[in-house]
């Protein structure tokens, strides 16, 4: 099975820049299921309480997630360690993260990893 593992950083970055990372990723990788952790939902909920672009992006993301087909893993592990573990568990998956440190860690482990650009591209 192959998943699009979407990290909080790309969700916030995308919705803060009026880009839907879920739609962009699913168009680029049709047939991949989308997967996030419960920790990502918790992070988005905390960020939604903030003012500014990040808070607005988090609120929009939470609203969008309510009607998207996204699998939620009810793990209690930290988001970064969860992303790394799931990407190893499902080797045909693709991780989308704008977290530079996590991106470097995944790349060094030869895990397919992309970042969302302001233009709405995955690179």
Q: What is the pLDDT of residues 11-65, one digit of tens each?
A: 999 999 999 999 999 999 999 999 999 999 999 999 999 998 889 999 999 999 9
Confidence (pTM):
0.94
Residues 6+ positions from 96 with CB-CB distance below 8 Å: 4, 5, 6, 7, 10, 21, 25, 113, 114, 115, 116, 122
**CATH number for the domain running over 3-114:** 3.40.50.1010
- The rounded distance, in Å, linking the Cα atoms of 18 and 41 is 19
């Amino acid at each position: 099975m192959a998943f699009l593992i979407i990290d909080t950083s790309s969700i916030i970055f995308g919705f803060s820049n009026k880009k839907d990372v879920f739609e962009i990723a699913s168009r680029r990788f049709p047939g991949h299921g989308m997967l996030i952790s419960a920790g990502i939902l918790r992070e988005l909920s905390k960020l939604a309480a903030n003012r500014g672009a990040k808070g607005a992006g988090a609120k929009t993301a939470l609203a969008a997630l309510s009607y998207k087909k996204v699998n939620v893993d009810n793990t209690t592990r930290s988001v970064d360690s969860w992303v790394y573990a799931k990407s190893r568990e499902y080797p045909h998956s693709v991780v989308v993260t704008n977290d530079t440190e996590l991106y470097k860690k995944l790349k060094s482990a030869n895990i397919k990893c992309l970042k969302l650009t302001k233009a709405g591209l995955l690179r």
